[in-house]
Amino acid sequence: MIHQPLGGAQGGQTDIDIQANEMLHHKANLNGYLAYHTGQSLDQINQDTDRDFFMSVKEAKEYGLIDGVIMNPLKALQH
């Protein structure tokens, strides 16, 4: 699953505005990283992270989010 960053803010309006802008900055950075590493367009990432976006293992691999699933972690460490 991918989604937008979550957080909360408290304080006066100025404090909340600062925190909201900071979250938007982090969202843009994270979406840029996802676009770069998955090969998806930034527009697609923005759309998909607007709400919870659930994927199966196969869908996550096709999306470019994962390379595969490690079925036996101990064996994987030996390589």
For residue 55, what is the domain's CATH number? 3.90.226.10
C-beta separation of 23 from 6 below 8 A: no
Q: Would 4 be classed as within a structural domain?
A: no
Cα separation of 17 and 48, whole Å?
Answer: 25
CA distances 19 to 5, 27, 72, Å, are 12, 12, 42
Q: Would 8 be classed as within a structural domain?
A: no
Q: Token match 């293992």: residue?
A: 57
- Residue 77 pLDDT: 87
Q: Provide the 10 A C-beta neighbour count for residue 43.
A: 10
Q: Would 69 be classed as within a structural domain?
A: yes
- Residue 56 pLDDT: 97
- Residue 76 pLDDT: 84
Count of structural domains within the chain: 1
Q: Which segments in the chain show pLDDT lower than 70?
A: 79
C-beta separation of 2 from 48 below 8 A: yes
Q: Would 47 be classed as within a structural domain?
A: yes
pLDDT in tens, 36-49: 999 999 999 999 99
